Structure 1
Amino acid sequence: MEAEAAISEAIRVLAGTAAEPLAVLPDEGVYRRASDVERLGRLVDALRLQAAAELAVRADHVSDGSATPRLTRRLGVVSAAQVLERAARVSQREATRRIRLGTLVSPRITPFSAVIEPPFPAVAEALRAGEIGVDAVAAIVRPLAGAADRIAPEMLAEAERHLVSEARTGLPDLVAVQAQIMGQALDADGAEPREAELRRRRTFRIGREVDGMTPFHGLADPVGAALLRAAIAERTAPSRTPRFVADDEPAVERGADPLPIRDERSREQRAYDVLMGLLTAGVRVDRDVATSLHGVATVQVVVTEADLEGGSGLAWLDDVTEPVSARTAAEIGCDGGIAVTVVDDHGRPLRQGRRQRYFTAAQRRALAVRDGGCAMPQCTAPPSWTHAHHVVEWQHGGATDVDNGVLLCAYHHHLVHEGDFRLRMLEGLPQLLAPPWVDPEQQWRRIGRARWKGGATARAA
């Protein structure tokens, strides 16, 4: 057929073009190539969605009325998406997406040879002309399709034409926002049902470990998503500055880069630590309200006495098959959120987190007043997210007292337990000795962001 011959010739020509290096082109040439190739890609998108929609129709039906088995049966699959998955060698998710969008922008032919226009004809026309791509198609049709049965046809058509006009020159992300706003404005009565449906779909799941890591995933409704994004964005923003700092404090006490302690975490790792900080704060509140040493969400870690004292060997956490190091057990045992059970070499329990090991709520409040949150320079973790760390470790005779405690976030707590950063107390205040590659001068430096200094300064003024 003529169309098949044209596609074959286009593939041959484009295969040769793809082999040509772009490094020889000037900037303007590469820019123009990217634009031209995208126009070509939009035409290919139109063909992809058209083929996907037609395959979906034929997957479960016999097109010629003969006794030939339908496509799904002939291929040994159960859905139209699986048919397309095999034909196009794409993921099932991508196949499902193409079928869903293709059905909305492709005409249908009835058994009586009548042509039925697609639900979104203006989008279909712009797609076939190569004026918009599949991203713009999805941005327009998804919000409008969900409300199509509750919007007057003429209003729906006007909204579609307006959005197509915007998509011809605008960015798909901006068009998606416009489409969402327009769909909700036209379907004001549908907001509450949509909200109830979204809330019903909320979910959170924790999987089992894979290579020592435990996956978790879920879906958040709009309110939950807003809370998560706000909490994480606030604590991961590059412009984030510490709290509880008086204007006249020396740089070493302000956390205004007294030491170039580089945060090695990626943005994703920082977001994870923020989430764990929120969880830690919530568990600690539950524990304090219950007026017990360990709250209802307390996790237990089991370690032998020899390994805990020696700082080597393994420890085991509740409901987690991957072991942690004995040094990590000592680290997480500083605070009351995880109970450490010490056993002998035969597994017999010797002790389980004696009360004096854990800082009380009153002591933590005193540390929060003194340290203002994580005491490490440049860190902005609030007090509720931190661990109370024994400067002289408890198993080495250190007292559980404000004069031997300092607040550290989980990330910096781990750095301190690794041994490169050393802490000491001088006149009841924490000091830090950073490793030589961070502080070549090797000076003990006061750390923390004391709240009371700001008040004292204000009163003095």
Structure 2
Amino acid sequence: MFTLVHPSHVERTRVATAAAMLREVADRVAMVTDEDLVALARGAEALGRHVDALRTRIAGEVDVRSGQELVGPTDDDRLSSRYGCGNAVELLERTTRASVKTLRQRVRLDRHTRTHTTLTGHIQPARFPEVSDAFRAGKLSMDAACYLTDEFTRLRHRGHTSPEETTIAEQEIIRAVTTGIDGAPADDAAEVPADGVLPETFDEFRVIVDTWSTFLARDGIEPDAEYAERFRGLNLGRTRDGLVPVAGNLVPEAAAGLQLLFDAHNGSTTRFRTSPEDAPASAAWTDDEQVHDPRTAPQKRHDVLVSIIQAAAAATDTPSLGGAAPTLQISTAVGDLDGGTAIIDRTQAPVPSSLAHRIACTGAVQKVVFDRNGRIVRLGAPDRLFNAHQRRAIGIRDGGCIIPGCSIPAAWCEVHHVTEYAQSGPTHTDNGVLLCWAHHHRLERSGWQIQMRGGTPYVKAPGWIDPRGIFRAVRNQRTERERVRQRSRHETPPLQLPIPTG
């Protein structure tokens, strides 16, 4: 006697069995050898491409069965409607718990790679048949498939190319991915990839697609420039978890200029000198000492951008607001001055009062204190801010951020009260030093300490950088010239001091 098993039950059983097998493999990963680990990584990725193809096909089928063309008089023919959802993406979101962005990407890719059946029963090929075959065979990643189909679809919609031209380009790109230059078939699940298989990374694949896109554009790059001119923009999102998301599109020259500034101030320099703990205790900090910066590359770019914004706000040729220079306002209640919160104007973002105290001394920020009834009881005092003459003098002395290893110039720095103004610290050049936004922002918790000795800043590094815990003079123009002067007294003939040119 035979038992009839429904096909859908068979498919669900196979998926559950595969999931259980994968869990067993994951539990044993820590026990495999290095060689097996590398091979396992390659094999798991190949398996993941098959899973992505399956998830994409499922999302696409849900999209088909929830399509508008199936809407009847009672809307009961739509799959999403029968499950109480407005569309296919909502149904998928509730059943898979994947993000809306990911689900839309799967649906869009399936629309580009699935065959279509006409009302007469005729099967039409996929919009991108080569991508469809490679993707469903596990030879092309989802990222690569989406990038190619989205880019070529954009070209078609903007009238840059014909379907015949994109078909030829699609065939050439997929051939390069699956067979390589020498024609050897790719086997990503094997321990050693086939010789000549290109590209080996997604970035290399993207370069190939971009090259074909530029070649296929009928009128060269001029339409791209017109498109960029129309759709350039920058948006600030709503504050969430203490951060404001930024989104938008920059024209290439703006992005290149910004990248140059990032590279200029975040580029790693080769260090040949020993670590700070090996330097003489009486020696000043130098530019070639190994000073570890724990910030990530995105964090460094963020901090450089903050310095650029502050420098632009303080520039004399910056347009005014209400007859005054752009001034960031921070408001707080009397009861929140110590350990409470403050509100940053424009974004209405809450910040700790300690942060408000710090940024209020930069000169581009004004602190406003309210009582419980909303009455202004205190306004940021002008005598706590370093004036333009003091800033210039301190800038000449320090040259930039005084923390060793930091390359932020003086024009982008904030002036910090070494002895806090709230602790009766004077607003005087002997009590002010230049710090970039990043080092000023986290000075109290970074481990760096600053002292003023006879109007000269001295810096002590955190214990994990220099365990000796000594203060060393900051290298600047005045101390460097004095060092040269002292050397010249012991030389025969005496050294000639360099004559300043600026």
TM-score when scaled to structure 1? 0.80
Which of 106, 109, 113 is matched with 2:114 structurally?
A: 106
**1:366 aligns to what?**
393
After superposition, what is the alpha-carbon deviation per residue over 1:398-420, rounded to whole angstroms, capped at 9, x for unaligned?
44333332111233334555696
**1:132 aligns to what?**
140
The 1:153/1:313 distance shift into structure 2, 3 A limit, reads: closer
The answer as to whether partners of 2:401 and 2:409 remain within 8 angstroms in 1 is yes
**2:127 aligns to what?**
119
**1:56 aligns to what?**
63
Which of 306, 314, 324 is matched with 1:276 structurally?
A: 306
In 1: Cα distance, 2:361 partner to 2:475 partner: 19
The 1:420/1:218 distance shift into structure 2, 3 A limit, reads: closer
Aligned ranges for residues 340-419 of structure 1 at < 5 Å? 340-341=367-368, 352-416=379-443
The 1:215/1:385 distance shift into structure 2, 3 A limit, reads: same
Which of 158, 162, 180 is matched with 2:172 structurally?
A: 162
In 2: Cα distance, 1:438 partner to 1:39 partner: 44
Report deviation, 1:268. 4.0
SS of the residue 1:389 aligns to: strand
SS of the residue 2:119 aligns to: coil
After superposition, what is the alpha-carbon deviation per residue over 1:24-60, rounded to whole angstroms, capped at 9, x for unaligned?
4333333333333333333333333333333322212
In 2: Cα distance, 1:290 partner to 1:15 partner: 62
After superposition, what is the alpha-carbon deviation per residue over 1:305-335, rounded to whole angstroms, capped at 9, x for unaligned?
x997xxx45463444463533x544432332
Letter in 2 for 1:322: P
After superposition, what is the alpha-carbon deviation per residue over 1:219-260, rounded to whole angstroms, capped at 9, x for unaligned?
22343444444433443344389xxxxxxxx962424338x6
Which of 51, 56, 71 is matched with 1:44 structurally?
A: 51
In 2: Cα distance, 1:30 partner to 1:269 partner: 32
Letter in 2 for 1:338: V
Select the structure with the greater relative contact order (CA < 8 A; seq sep ≥ 6): 1
Letter in 1 for 2:39: R
Letter in 1 for 2:384: R
SS of the residue 2:219 aligns to: helix
Q: How many residues align?
A: 443
Aligned ranges for residues 45-84 of structure 1 at < 5 Å? 45-60=52-67, 69-84=77-92
Report deviation, 1:378. 1.6
The answer as to whether partners of 2:81 and 2:87 remain within 8 angstroms in 1 is no
Structure 2 spans left out of the alignment, 5+ residues: 179-196, 272-281, 485-495
**1:244 aligns to what?**
none
Structure 1 spans left out of the alignment, 5+ residues: 242-249
Letter in 2 for 1:365: R
**1:324 aligns to what?**
352
The answer as to whether partners of 1:106 and 1:117 remain within 8 angstroms in 2 is yes
The answer as to whether partners of 2:341 and 2:350 remain within 8 angstroms in 1 is no
Which of 218, 231, 234 is matched with 1:203 structurally?
A: 234
SS of the residue 2:315 aligns to: helix
**2:477 aligns to what?**
450
In 2: Cα distance, 1:400 partner to 1:292 partner: 27
Report deviation, 1:145. 1.5
| RMSD of aligned Cα (Å) | 4.0
In 1: Cα distance, 2:464 partner to 2:128 partner: 62
The 1:27/1:350 distance shift into structure 2, 3 A limit, reads: closer
SS of the residue 2:434 aligns to: strand
SS of the residue 2:326 aligns to: coil
In 1: Cα distance, 2:108 partner to 2:328 partner: 46
In 2: Cα distance, 1:43 partner to 1:344 partner: 63
**1:152 aligns to what?**
162
The answer as to whether partners of 2:329 and 2:368 remain within 8 angstroms in 1 is no
The 1:334/1:292 distance shift into structure 2, 3 A limit, reads: farther
The answer as to whether partners of 1:53 and 1:103 remain within 8 angstroms in 2 is yes
The 1:358/1:120 distance shift into structure 2, 3 A limit, reads: same
**1:220 aligns to what?**
249
The answer as to whether partners of 1:204 and 1:217 remain within 8 angstroms in 2 is yes
SS of the residue 2:350 aligns to: coil
How much identity, in percent, do the aligned residues show? 28
The answer as to whether partners of 1:389 and 1:408 remain within 8 angstroms in 2 is yes
The answer as to whether partners of 2:386 and 2:427 remain within 8 angstroms in 1 is yes
